[in-house]
Amino acid sequence: MSKFYILLGSNIEPEKNIPLALGFLGTSPEWVLLSKSGVWRTKPIGSCCTDFLNVAVLVETPLSPNELKNRLAAIESAMGRVRTEDKNAPRVIDLDIVAEDDRVIDKEISVFDHILLPLSEIAPNMLLPDSLTDLAEASAARKKFTAAVRVD
């Protein structure tokens, strides 16, 4: 069994789509939802569109990373996700694996507030080599996250 940290993001009807995605994640027989962060409102990256809502979750599953990625893609498709050439385009839902156990998969964890802040709530001691909590506090002190607000 492995533990995976998954980041959820939406900026198309996010008040509806984040809870819907959490419902999919919370009821799958293929994994157990162990933890969920608060909801964070963040500005889009490289896009002119509306703010995102972001949440991080921790699941435990016997699935491999590729199998889990395929299951997450199926949830995105079921919710109407349309992928375009623009990596930063608005989206109904985005489900990304950012870490497996304590191994970072997404190297941008420490760069972007939409990843760092929700993840720091459920994995405060994950090392990058600094803990996520230390990174979040240092970034907030530099005023890097003035546009990020926890909304729940």
Give me the active site residues, please.
Answer: 81, 91, 94, 96
- Decide if 8 contacts 58 (C-beta within 8 A): no
Handedness of CA 26, 59, 51, 70 (dihedral sign): negative
- Decide if 135 contacts 116 (C-beta within 8 A): yes
What separation, in Å, do the N-terminal and C-terminal C-alpha atoms of the chain show?
Answer: 31
Q: Where are the alpha helices (DSSP H) in the chain?
A: 14-27, 65-78, 113-122, 132-141
